[in-house]
Structure 1
């Protein structure tokens, strides 16, 4: 091998090693950032939605300057915590969209999962929704992103059923975003007031949601039993759908 060839090979090996080191460092920083988000979630659970950066740093066992090495400011940490909460919610909702059972069962289990999560993490929910922690406008709003993902996923499912029934599916996005807004607003009220049980709220909301769906079906001359099994489709499940064409 010529001296020039050996030099080229050595340079390539150095570049490969450098790329590998960069990738390991990137993975380390991502893992460390995830650990700090977990610490923030624990601190929120202990101190409430008004938690401070000092509380979060103490829970993580680091100083505030170390915390700021991984998050540019409070708003950056807020977004990361919101994304953590959204991921957790979708982990719980996604399997429930695999349709086995009746419309009533599907509606009830989705509602119960959502309400159960905000009941389990009330401080985290308020932290994300109230946004008192942010010190600047956020480029990505976890609450809005979460609503869009859920509504688009619901629209995809409803659209499949509407088309399977031979009905126009053009309104499913409107219905889905409206239903998601209804459930979120009701959850906000319930979490603050706690004047009824989770089961009662689930039943009330399920009744309202089915009545809305039933009204659309009846206007098209169809009448379905909400307690009959849904077997219209071979494959009906939740897809994580961004803000895109749902046709």
Structure 2
């Protein structure tokens, strides 16, 4: 006969093990989940993910504490992948519109290539607590703020954008891209141009509210 108490103890112990006991298996699981969501959408089941990772389904929770934790890890990985596409545009010289246009172009292109992942990351931001939501996007936000500081250094401006402005920008970009993914009522170039104009206007307005006038033709150069 099965020792129920012993079985319960061992099950609880497995579920309480800290994520990261086996980093290789955990990374494999997150990679498998990311690919599964990319191909099949966010409703893909844990069983399918475990099978893709070559891990028995009962062992999944040895490497992540819950399905929510796995979702968060996928959002982090997807955000890091997107950042790699955006990163070259964070160090280019140009007007504020030029810089924003390069970033928007990279984001829209990545979203077109990975529509399920883009929707998934946007949904994490919208449905979790603010702290959890921003964890998956903070790499991009941090890089963007560092780039802004580099661009604005010649004018001795130290930007500190209110969280509400940044959240609004992300929400606007997410909503615009997801609408385009769903309806395809603009060309890819048209949606990039529209989002670039909108984001540039918001950033210029933010700088005006902070007491700085940034001319449209001012060229930011991080190498200067």
Instruction: State the TM-score, normalizing by the size of structure 2.
Output: 0.72
| Structure 2 counterpart of 1:50, from 43, 55, 80 | 43
Taking a change above 3 Å as real, the CA distance of residues 220 and 45 of structure 1, as seen in their structure-2 partners, is: closer
Count of residues in Structure 1 that have an aligned counterpart in Structure 2: 202
| Structure 1 counterpart of 2:174, from 180, 184, 190 | 184
Deviation per CA, 1:94-113, whole angstroms, max 9, x where unpaired? 22211234433321110011
Partner of 2:143: 153
Taking a change above 3 Å as real, the CA distance of residues 150 and 98 of structure 1, as seen in their structure-2 partners, is: same
> Where in structure 2 are the equivalents of 1:129-168 lying within 5 Å?
129-130=122-123, 141=132, 143-162=133-152, 164-165=154-155
Deviates more, 1:206-215 or 1:168-177: 168-177
Taking a change above 3 Å as real, the CA distance of residues 193 and 230 of structure 1, as seen in their structure-2 partners, is: same
Partner of 2:215: 223
Secondary structure of the 1:117 match is: helix
Superposed displacement of residue 33, structure 1: 1.1
- How far apart in 1 are the matches of 2:160 and 2:129? 32
Taking a change above 3 Å as real, the CA distance of residues 54 and 177 of structure 1, as seen in their structure-2 partners, is: closer
CA contact 1:29–1:70 (8 Å) conserved in 2:
yes
Superposed displacement of residue 73, structure 1: 2.0
Superposed displacement of residue 165, structure 1: 2.7
Partner of 1:205: 195
Partner of 2:6: none
Matched, 1:234 2:220: no
Matched, 1:123 2:116: yes
Deviation per CA, 1:122-174, whole angstroms, max 9, x where unpaired? 2223333335xx9xx78962x42244443343334334544523568455766
- How far apart in 2 are the matches of 1:75 and 1:27? 16
| Structure 2 counterpart of 1:72, from 46, 65, 78 | 65
- How far apart in 1 are the matches of 2:62 and 2:28? 13
Partner of 1:4: none
Q: Which has the larger radius of gyration?
A: 1
- How far apart in 2 are the matches of 1:112 and 1:65? 42
- How far apart in 2 are the matches of 1:27 and 1:70? 6
Matched, 1:114 2:107: yes
- Structure 2: 5+ residue stretches without partners: 1-18
- How far apart in 1 are the matches of 2:22 and 2:79? 21
- How far apart in 2 are the matches of 1:230 and 1:195? 33
Partner of 1:38: 31
- How far apart in 1 are the matches of 2:68 and 2:213? 51
User: RMSD between aligned alpha carbons?
Assistant: 3.4
| Structure 1 counterpart of 2:184, from 175, 194, 205 | 194
- How far apart in 2 are the matches of 1:209 and 1:117? 18
Taking a change above 3 Å as real, the CA distance of residues 181 and 128 of structure 1, as seen in their structure-2 partners, is: closer
